Amino acid sequence: MSGLLLRKRRDVFAACGGYTGRNKKPKTSVALSLVCENNCLAVSDSTAKRYQQSDPDVRLMLRVRDDDAGAFEELVRRYEARLVRLMHTIGPSHDLAEDLTQETFLRVYRARKRYEAGAKFSTWLFTIAGNVARNSSRSASRRREVNEVDVPRGFETPSNAQMLASTALDASGLMPNRLAEGDERAKIVRTAVLSLSERQRMALMLSRFENMSYAEIAESMELSPKAVKSLLSRARVNLKEALQPYIESGVLPKEGRV
C-alpha cells in the first residue's frame, strides 16, 4: 500500500468518528445526514438471512452497523485496492482515484445504520462507488474542461498493464500480430480504455475484474440487465475499432471518448 493511501485510510477512520486502532469503537457523534445509499432499503427476512449466510462481507458490514470498528477496517483492507483500480478507469489521475475511494468508504460508514443485507456486499459497495464517480465527473465538467488525461499509475505497473491489455484484447476479439511491451503497452491500454464512455468502462471493469454477473452489474450501475448487456457489447465493438489499426499496422489508437 502506498504511503499516500495509508494516510488516506487513516483519514477515513478519523472522519468516521476518531477511530485510531483495532478493537476500539468509533465515537458515536458522526453525523448521519447522508441520504441512504441505494440498497439501504427494507428487505425480507429470508433474503437477509440468505446473504448473511452466503457472504462473509455482509456479515462484516452488519458488524459495522453495530459500530464494530475492526470490521470496518477489515472491509477497507479487503476492498480499497480493488476500488482504487476501478476508479483508475474512470478518473484522470492516481490521486483522484484514491480520493474517490476514500469518499466511497466514508459514505459506506455514514450509511451503516441504514444498511440491510439485500444483496452481496460488493454489489452495494460498487453501487456507492459508481455514484461517487458520477458525481465527481459532473463536478469536474462544471469546474473545468480537461485538456489532457494523465496516465493512471495503475496502468503503469506491469501486472495491471498486462491485465488491462489482456482485457482489452480479449474483449475486442482481435488477435495481435505482435506484442507490445513497456511504455508502448501502457499507452495502447490507456488510449483504448479511455476511448470508451464512462459507463462502458465501468461495466467492462466490473465484468472482467470483479467477475460480476449482468444482474449484479445492473444493480450496481442502476441499469437493467439488458442495458448492461448492450453496454458490454458496445464496449467490445469500440475496443475493437480502437485497437484494430494498431493490431494490423502498428498505428496507435486515437485518444478520445466514444
| Tens digits of residue pLDDT in 170-225 | 655 554 544 455 556 666 766 777 788 888 988 988 888 888 999 999 988 889 99
**Cβ distance 126 to 108 under 8 Å?**
no
User: HSE (CB half, 13 Å, CA atoms) of 69?
Assistant: 19
pLDDT confidence tier of residue 157, bands split at 50, 70 and 90: very low
Average pLDDT over residues 232-258: 71
C-alpha cell at 45: 427476512
- Among 5-19, 64-78, 168-182, whose mean pLDDT is lowest? 168-182
**Cβ distance 27 to 96 under 8 Å?**
no
In this structure, the number of other CB atoms found within 10 A of the CB of residue 240 comes to 17
**Cβ distance 96 to 171 under 8 Å?**
no
My answer on whether 205 and 236 are in the same domain is yes
CATH number at residue 67: 1.10.1740.10
Q: Quick: pLDDT tens for 98-146.
A: 999 999 999 999 999 999 888 889 999 999 998 898 887 666 554 444 4
- Count of domains forming the chain: 2
In this structure, the number of other CB atoms found within 10 A of the CB of residue 109 comes to 24
Per-chain mean pLDDT for the chain: 72
My answer on whether 241 and 188 are in the same domain is yes
Nearest to 72 by CA among 144, 21, 119, 142: 21
What pTM was computed for the model? 0.63
My answer on whether 7 and 113 are in the same domain is yes
Spell out a b/e string for 71-95, using b for 16 or more CB atoms within 10 Å of the CB, else e. bbbbbbeebbebbbbbbbbbbbebe
My answer on whether 18 and 118 are in the same domain is yes
- Among 39-43, 70-74, 112-116, 153-157, whose mean pLDDT is lowest? 153-157
